Amino acid sequence: MDRNEGLSEFLRARRAAMDPERAGLHALAPRRVPGLRREELAALAGVSVDYYTRLEQGRPITPSDSVLDALANALGLDPAERSYLHAVARPPAAGRRRRTPRAAQKVRPGIHALLARLEDTPAVVLGRRSDILVTNRMARALLADFDAIPVRDRNATRWIVLDEAARSLFGDGWENVASEFVGTLRMDAARHPDDTRTAELVGELAMKSEPFRRWWAGQKVVQFSHHTKHLHHPVVGRLTLRTETLAFPGDPDQTLLAFLADPGSPSDEALTLLSAWAAGHEGQGAGGDGGNPARTAPRP
């Protein structure tokens, strides 16, 4: 059986990131390496040192839910990291993995209608590996004209990591936003370990971006949630927007991401101005190069 490299790397990274004092361990002498020792983590989780060592080495064993929960508690994992630990600890057996291309991702008509209703609210539907499946006019005005990008390259993580316009748009907050998207990509990779497109995307970003290589090696895991984003738009200036995400029942691989301003705030007024600007510049997003009329296409 193959070694479980994903579990091995995640456990080692999380153990190295642990603060011994926060875990209630007070060293009598300086530690030569950061984090907890294997025997310390094993004791906190209530498992034998030998068993934990085999897990961290990626040996082909399947830990129980109770063992994974005990490790998650000992490591202080948040809900996203716990989900990742369970997913990566039990990857599909090589013989059971899908070897045919996945069905194309399609956005159902009701979701298209919903985005049309959100005409003054920037909104995006993301699919597997953060592929951009559909955007509304305000999202293209706020972020970029994704319709002008070839369908295969419409990916939010690729855009935010590699595009200089994205770096400029998010300014000082770019590193936090970009690393969050890398964390969601890691979560997706654990859910779909057989997805060749995800592997290709990770390889491409690792070759082209030093920050991506650093974030990926750090084993950060993120699930889409709600956050506050600070942007500097080339047309309407600074905005402070709240992002809200909505998962669709029956399709866990699609997520609606919306950008909202507090009513009556300067950012709300800026979005109103941006909406008026976008009405006269359809097909020209924040990047400013123009593009094709709004369209969507299935994504594999």
In whole angstroms, give the CA distance from residue 117 to residue 137: 11
Q: Nearest Cα to 107, choosing from 4, 241, 253?
A: 253
Between residues 170 and 36, the one the model is more confident about: 170
More confident of the two residues 159 and 251: 159
* Domains annotated on the chain, with CATH: 5-94 (1.10.260.40), 109-280 (3.30.450.180)
Can you spell out the DSSP letters for 66-130? HHHHHHHHHHT--HHHHHHHHHHHSPPPGGGS--SPPPPB---HHHHHHHHH-TTS-EEEE-GGG
What is the tens place of the pLDDT at every residue in 167-202?
999 999 999 999 999 999 999 999 888 889 999 999
Burial 219-237 (b: 16+ CB within 10 A, else e): bbbbbbeeeeeebebeebe
Amino acid code (one letter) for 23: A
Rounded Cα gap, residues 214 and 51, in angstroms = 29
Give the tens place of pLDDT for each residue, 244-282.
Answer: 999 888 787 899 999 999 999 999 999 999 999 988 776
| pLDDT at position 67 over 90 | yes
Question: What are the residues whose beta carbons fall under 8 Å from the beta carbon of 55, sequence distance 6 or more?
Answer: 7, 8, 11, 61, 63, 71
Give this prediction's pTM: 0.84
Residue 34 has pLDDT above 90, yes or no: no
Q: How far apart are CA 274 and CA 64, in angstroms?
A: 52
Mean pLDDT across 151-171: 95
Going by C-alpha positions, the residue among 207, 227, 200, 232 that lies closest to residue 300 is 200
Collapsed DSSP state (helix, strand, coil) of residue 259: strand
Between residues 261 and 90, which one has the greater pLDDT?
A: 261
Distance of CA 176 to the CA centre of its chain: 11
Residue 293: the pLDDT is: 32
Residue 78 dihedral angles phi and psi, to the nearest 5°: -85, 175
Coil, helix or strand at residue 273: helix
Query: How far apart, in Å, are the Cα atoms of 122 and each of 39, 119, 169, 201, 275?
Result: 50, 8, 15, 25, 9
Candidates 157, 114, 118; CA nearest to 138 is: 118
